[in-house]
Chains A and B, each alone.
Chain A
Amino acid sequence: MLAWTIYVSFLAAAVLLLLPENSARLARMIALIAATAGLLIVLETLATHHSGELISVAHIPWIPSLGITYHLASDGISMVLLLLTGIVAVAGILFSWNVEHRTREFFALYLALIGGVYGVFLSFDLFLLFVFYEIAIIPKYFLIAIWGSTRKEYGAMKLALYSFVGSAMVLIGIVAAYVVAGSRTTSLEELARFPFPVHFQMWAFPLVFVGFAILAGLWPFHTWAPTGHVAAPTGASMLLAGVVMKLGAYGCLRVAMMLFPLGMDPWGFHILFLNSWRDVFALLAVIGIVYGAMVALVQEDFKFVIGYSSVSHMGFVLLGLMTLNRIGLDGAILQMFSHGVIGGLLFAVVGRMVYDRTHTRDLAALEKLHLSKVIPFAAVTFVIASMASIGLPGFSGFVAELQILIGAWRAFPTAALLAGIGLAVGFAYTWRVMQKAFFGSSALAGDSALAGDSVLAAPAVHTPPPPITLPERVGAILLLGASLAVGLYPQMLLNLIIPALNSPLFEGLRKASWQ
C-alpha cells in the first residue's frame, strides 16, 4: 500500500502532462488529489503500524545478475519522514494555488519531485535509493528556473550542480561499497551486516556523508540553499526546505552512518582539537548553526532571512546525528520533521502571503506597509511559526532542539554551548524580521511616497492586497497543527523513531560508538 505514495505521484505527474494546455483548474485539482492521496496512504499505514517496526512493501528481484532488488520498506524513521513529505506536499500545493503560468507543467514537476522523495524514504536497496535521490534533481531545476524569481537561472543551476556533485560523491562511495562487499548485493540490510574494513570506512564515510550533507546544508557547502530557496517559487521553496534538505540528512543517517559506522572512530592522532570525522562534522554543524543565524540577522531580503535560518536549523539536525547518543539521534529525527513543517510554513508566509501581494521582500520597504494591519492572518501565522521556530515549548521545535542540545552536551559540551549561542541569535533575527516585516513603526508609514527606493513598494501602497484565500488558510493550519501536535505529544513520533534506532539495522552504529 505504502508504495502507492510513489506511484500515485508519478502517475498524476504523467496525467498532468497529457492534459490540454489551458486546464489550470483541473491540473490543480488533480495535483491536490494526488498529494492528499499520498498523505492519506501514509496516515492509513501509521494507523495500523504505529510501533515503528519494519514494514516490507515490495521486494522483487530487479537486476538479478548484479544482486539489485526493488525493495521498498519502511521503518519508524522512514515513517516520520513520509508523514512529513505528505503534509508538506499537500500544503505546498495549497500555497501554489495561484500559479497561472504553465500550471500543469508546474504541478507535474512538483509531483515528480514528491514521487522521488517518497521513493528515497521508502528504498531499502542502495541502488534504488540512489535512483530516487537523483530523480529529484531535475524537477527542482526546472521548478526554479521556470517559475522562480530573483536570479532564478543562477539559483536553479547552482542547486542542480551542488546536488549533482553531492550525488557524484555518493555514487563513488556506494559503487565502492558494492564492490568491496563482493558485488553481490545492494540490499541495505545485507550491506549493514557486512563488515567493511576500517580503512575503507575511514574514507568512504566522509565521502558519502559530505555527499549527502551538501543537500542538508552542511557548512561550507550550504551556499546553494539560500540562493536556491530565494529563487524558488513558493511551493518549490517549501519542498526544498521542507523535504529536500531532509533527503540529505536522511542519506547521512541511512547510508553513511548506518553502513560505515567505523568511519566515525578516532583517527588515532589530533589535528588541532579534532580527533575523528565525527568531531569534524560536529564542528561544521555548529559553525553552520551559528553562521546561519548570524547571517540571517543582517539580511535585508525577507526570504534570505528564512533561507539562512534553514541552514542554521539543519545544522541542529547534523549536530544531533553526530552526537551518536540515543537522545541526540532522536532529536535529530524530530528536528527533521519539525523544521520541515515550520520551515515550510515560514517560506509559505514569505513567498505566498507577503511577496505575492506586496511584490517586495525588502524588509525596509515592508516596514512601511504595516502588514499586521493589512493581512493580519499572515502576521499571526508568522508570529506563531517563528515562535515555533525559535523553540517555544508546546511546538515541535522545542522538543527537537532540546533533545539535540542534551545529546550534544553529553558528547561535545563546547559544541552544545556554541549551539546555544546560535539559538540566542536565532531569537534575535526572528524578532528583528518579525518586527520589520509585520509591525513597522507607524511613523514611517506615511513617508513611503518620499522614499527613493519605493519603486517596488509603490503598487501595494495604493491598492490594498487581496485577502488571504482559503487554500492558504488550510495550508497554514495544516502545518501549524502538525507542529503543535508533535510539540504537545512528541511520543507519537518517538514511538516510531526509538524502535527503528533499536533495530538490527543500526547494530553496527550502536556497537561502534553508542554512548
Chain B
Amino acid sequence: MTGTSYRELLLLALPQTVVVLAGLIALALDLSLFRNSTNRVRFSAGAAIACAGSLAAGCCILLSQTHGAIQTFQNGMLLSNPLTHLIQIALLLLAVLTILLSIDSTFTDHIGEYILLILLATAGMMFLVSTEDLLLIFVSLELLSLCLYVLTGFNKHSVHSAEAALKYFLFGGMSAAFLLFGFSYLYGLSGSTNLVRIAAATEGSVMDPLLMVAIVMTVTGFGFKVAAVPFHLWSPDAYEGAPAPAAAFIASASKVASFFIFAQVMVLGFAGTAGNAGWNVRAPGWAPLVAVVAALSLVLGNVAALAQKSVKRLLAYSAIAHAGYMLLAIVSHTQQSIAALLYYVLTYALTTIGAFGVVAVVEHQTGGDKLSDFAGLSRRAPLPSMCMLVFLLSLAGIPPLAGFFGKFYLFSAALAGTTASLSLLWLVILAVAMSAVSLYYYLQVLKRIYVEQPPADAAPIQISILSQIVLCLIAAIIILLGCAPNLLLRLIQNALNAIIA
C-alpha cells in the first residue's frame, strides 16, 4: 500500500462529513442560541439546519457524479460510483423526511441531540453503502446501530420506550458479535478484508466447514439487522416502544442500508459459494440458507400480523414479511434481481416512513396506536387518511402504486434466475400466496379508517400544515412511481450497468 492521500479521502467522504457537521451545528445552536426558545422553534431550527446539511451533502454527491464516475480509495475501502450516489441520496431524503415528520412531536426536550443522532446514523449508513471492506462495514454498522438504540429509547417518559431500547440493544449487540465472528473467519480464510479478494480466495470451497461457519454467522448477523425470521424478535417491541418517527427511521432508512450491504456482502464477498435454492437444481451454499430465512419471514411475518391490535406492531410484522420478499431477490442474486431489490427497498422505505408518519399523527392526538384509535379517521382527518390508504395499499401491492410494480419486478426477476429458469418457483408461489394473506390485515386498518364511525366525542384532528404537505408529497411520489416506474428503474439500472461495466 502506498501512502494515504488525505485529500482524496476527504473528497470521497465529503458528503458524510457535511452531514456530521450539520448535526454538530444543530446541536451547538440548539444548546446555545435556542436554549430558551420553545420546543417548536428549536425543532424547526434544528430541522432547517439538518435539511440544509442534507441538501449540501446531496449537492456534493451530484457534483462528484458529474466528474469522474467511479472512484475507489484503498482497494474498495471507500467507493464512489453511481450506485452509491443513488443510495446515499435516497438515504439523505429519508432522513430529511423523518426529521420533517418529527417536528410536531412532543416526546423529548433534547432536540439538538435527537437531530444529531439521526444525522450521525445517516452518516453511518452513507459509509455503510459505500464500502467493500469488512472493517468499514462493521464500524459503520455499529455507528448506525448505536444511534438507533438511543433513538429507540428517546422517549424518557415512556417505560415501553426504555424497554424497547434495551431489547433492541441486547439483540443488536448479539448480532454484532455474530457478524464480527463471521467476519473474523472470513479474514482468516482469505487474509483480506476486501470483499472481492475474499470471494477470489474462497471460490469453490463451499464445503469447507470454516467457510460454512462464516456464512451462517454472517447471515445471522445481517438477519438481525433486517429483522428476518428467526432473528426478528426485537423488531415488534422496538417498533411499538420507540417514538413513531424513530420507528419510521429504523424501518425505512436503516432497512435500505442494511439490505444494500447484505446484498453486497453476499453477492460480492461470497460470489463463488452461492449454491442454488431452486427446487430442481439444489446445490449447497448461502442461497438455500437465505431462501429458508426468506420463506420463514414471509410466512411468520404475514401470519403474525393478522393478529395484531397495535398498528405499529402490525407494521413491524409487515416489515418482517417485506424483508422476506426482499431476501427473495438476494437468493436469486442476478443483476435484474438486485435492481428489483433496490427498487423494492427504496419504495418500501418511502411507504413505511409515510405510514409511520400517519401513525405518529394519530398517536399524537389520541394517545395510542391501537386499531380502535383509527376508527373513523377519514371523517376526522381526510387528507392523512387518504395518504394512509395509498401507503397501506402500496404495501399490499395493489396497482397503480409503487409497491405493486416492486413486487411484479421482483417476482419476475427472481423467477428468471440465471441457471435454470423457474427454479425459484416454489419461493415465488409462497411469496404471492402470502401477499394475498397480507391484504387482510391492511384492510383491517383501512376498514377502521374508512368504514367505522368515529367515536362520539371525537374532534377533528389538528395536524400541522408541514406534516400534511410531507405526507401528501410521499403519497404523490408513491403514486407517481407506481404509474411511471421507469423514472426510478432507469436510474437503478443505469447505475448497476455502470459499475458492472
A164 touches B408 (CB 8 A): no
B412 touches A179 (CB 8 A): yes
Q: Which of B414-433 contact A (CB under 8 A)?
A: 415-416, 421-422, 425, 428-429, 432-433
21 contacts between A and B (CB under 8 A): A63-B405, A63-B486, A65-B489, A131-B400, A131-B404, A134-B398, A134-B399, A142-B450, A142-B451, A145-B450, A160-B439, A164-B439, A168-B435, A172-B428, A172-B429, A175-B415, A176-B415, A179-B412, A179-B415, A179-B421, A183-B412
B408 touches A127 (CB 8 A): yes
> Once bound together, how far apart are the Cα atoms of A161 and B447, in whole Å?
14
A164 touches B399 (CB 8 A): no
A168 touches B436 (CB 8 A): yes
Per-residue A-contact encoding for B479-499, CB less than 8 Å = 1, 0 else: 000000110011001000000
Which 5 residue pairs across A and B have the least CB separation, nearest first? A131-B399, A168-B436, A179-B415, A145-B451, A168-B432
B440 touches A161 (CB 8 A): yes
> Once bound together, how far apart are the Cα atoms of A134 and B403, in whole Å?
13
Count of chain B residues with Cβ under 8 Å from any Cβ of A?
33
Identify the B interface with A (CB < 8 A): 336, 393, 398-400, 404-405, 408-409, 411-412, 415-416, 421-422, 425, 428-429, 432-433, 435-436, 439-440, 443, 447, 450-451, 485-486, 489-490, 493
Cβ contact of A63, chosen from B393, B415, B428, B485, cutoff 8 A: B485
A65 touches B398 (CB 8 A): no
A164 touches B412 (CB 8 A): no
Residues on B with C-beta less than 8 A from A179 are 412, 415-416, 421-422
Q: Which residue of B lies closest to A162 (CB)?
A: B436
Residues on B with C-beta less than 8 A from A165 are 436
Residues on A with C-beta less than 8 A from B399 are 130-132, 134-135
Q: Which residue of B lies closest to A61 (CB)?
A: B486
> Once bound together, how far apart are the Cα atoms of A141 and B447, in whole Å?
9
Residues on B with C-beta less than 8 A from A145 are 447, 450-451
A64 within 8 A of B: yes
A138 touches B393 (CB 8 A): yes
Count of chain A residues with Cβ under 8 Å from any Cβ of B?
32
Residues on B with C-beta less than 8 A from A146 are 450-451
Q: Given known contacts A131-B404, A175-B411, A176-B415, is B451 in contact with A153 (CB within 8 Å)?
A: yes
Residues on B with C-beta less than 8 A from A132 are 399
A107 within 8 A of B: no
Q: Which residue of A lies closest to B492 (CB)?
A: A65
Q: Which residue of A lies closest to B439 (CB)?
A: A164
Residues on A with C-beta less than 8 A from B489 are 63, 65
> Once bound together, how far apart are the Cα atoms of A165 and B415, in whole Å?
20
Nearest CB of B to A136, in Å: 10
Q: Which residue of A lies closest to B482 (CB)?
A: A131
Nearest CB of B to A360, in Å: 24
> Once bound together, how far apart are the Cα atoms of A132 and B490, in whole Å?
24
> Once bound together, how far apart are the Cα atoms of A138 and B399, in whole Å?
10
Q: Knowing that A132-B399, A146-B451, A178-B412 are A-B contacts, what are 11 other residue pairs whose CB atoms are under 8 Å apart, sorted by A's residue number?
A: A63-B405, A63-B489, A134-B399, A142-B450, A153-B451, A157-B440, A157-B443, A168-B432, A176-B422, A179-B421, A183-B336
Nearest CB of A to B84, in Å: 21
A66 within 8 A of B: yes
> Once bound together, how far apart are the Cα atoms of A8 and B490, in whole Å?
30
Residues on A with C-beta less than 8 A from B485 are 63
Q: Which residue of A lies closest to B450 (CB)?
A: A142
Per-residue B-contact encoding for A139-181, CB less than 8 Å = 1, 0 else: 0011001100000010001001100110010011001101110
